[in-house]
């Protein structure tokens, strides 16, 4: 079965989705402060590899665990939900089908306990 990653054009498309996603995130005062001191070029590359892997692409992700990556941030449900909403909007913007968006967001929501309240 074709993976989400293959269906939508691989890392090149995921990279465009990630760029648009961060445009939305950085414009959102609910969450943009978390990225105030972040090297966004590095963050975009890192996130592209992570999302590519999460959506069925090759495992090029060599970053920290979700819990370690978010340690000390004390992310709350409102923050997590804002990020999920921006990812959903970015996927829609690039014409991803609703069924595939639901599947992608299920994978993201599975990480919720590893990200919140750290």
DSSP structural state of residue 57? S
Residue 3 counted as domain residue: no
Annotated binding-site positions: 46, 70
Residue 88 counted as domain residue: yes
Residue 1 counted as domain residue: no
- The H or E element spanning position 96 is none
- How do residues 63-75 score in pLDDT, each as one tens digit? 788 889 899 999 9
Residue 4 counted as domain residue: no
CATH number at residue 64: 1.10.490.10
Instruction: Identify the pLDDT of residue 52.
Output: 87
Asked if residue 37 has pLDDT above 90, the reply is yes
The overall pTM is greater than 0.85: yes
Residue 25 counted as domain residue: yes
Task: Give the residue numbers spanning the domain of 26.
Answer: 9-115
Residue 102 counted as domain residue: yes
Residue 68 counted as domain residue: yes
Count up the domains in the chain and report the number: 1
Which of 31, 28, 26, 60 minimizes the C-alpha distance to 46? 60
Annotated binding-site positions for heme: 46, 70
């Amino acid at each position: 079965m074709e993976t989400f990653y293959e269906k939508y054009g691989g890392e090149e498309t995921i990279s465009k989705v990630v760029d648009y996603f961060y445009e939305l995130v950085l414009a959102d005062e609910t969450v943009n402060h978390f990225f105030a001191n972040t090297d966004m070029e590095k963050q975009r590359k890192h996130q592209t590899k992570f999302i590519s892997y999460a959506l069925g692409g090759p495992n090029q992700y060599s970053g920290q665990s979700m819990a370690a990556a978010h340690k000390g941030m004390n992310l709350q449900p409102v923050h997590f939900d804002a990020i999920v909403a921006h990812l959903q909007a970015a996927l829609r913007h690039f014409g991803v089908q609703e069924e595939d968006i639901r599947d992608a967001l299920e994978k993201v929501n599975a990480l919720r306990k590893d990200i919140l309240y750290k």
